[in-house]
Amino acid sequence: MGKFIYDNNIKVDFEDRLLAHLQAVILAKVRRGESFPFTWKDDISTGGGRTTVYIHPHVSLVFKFHGSRTPQLSTPWLHALTYNANSGRGLYIVTEPDDFAPRESTRREEMVFREVPHGEEPPAQIR
């Protein structure tokens, strides 16, 4: 388990592979001077719920990895996370898409936040 530290105040554990993908997406946006919210579900051991922080170029961010090896990055996962980060809701964690599955089949029920493109009907569970 790695650790994401926001502004030397908020510390949250993420699996190293997920943390590497989050780091790539977050740092790409920060390098371009883009600000955005980042939301994650809190572990039940810390009370559950969710946390949102506002990522911007002037905030202190630390990505502390447990392992010494750099995980291999998945292009489809980077695209999914970047798509979320660029949306109105900001970055939120989704499961890693299957490399060989069509994009639509990678959506899973646990993906609570979902952008609904203009003109598309929302799924029945969020109407």
Instruction: List, for residues 5-32, the tens digit of each pLDDT value.
Output: 999 999 999 999 999 999 999 999 999 9
Query: How distant is the alpha carbon of residue 70 from its chain centre?
Result: 18
Lookup result for tokens 């510390």? 11
Number of helical H runs and strand E runs in the chain? 2, 6
Specify burial of residue 38 (Cβ count, 10 A radius: 0-12, 13-18, 19+): buried
* pLDDT at 1 > cutoff 70: yes
Please, are residues 15 and 64 in contact by the beta-carbon 8 Å criterion?
no
Q: How confident is the model at residue 106 (pLDDT cuts 50, 70, 90)?
A: very low
C-alpha distances in Å from residue 20, one per residue of 41, 46, 99 = 18, 23, 18
pLDDT of residue 127: 39
* pLDDT at 105 > cutoff 50: no
* pLDDT at 58 > cutoff 50: yes
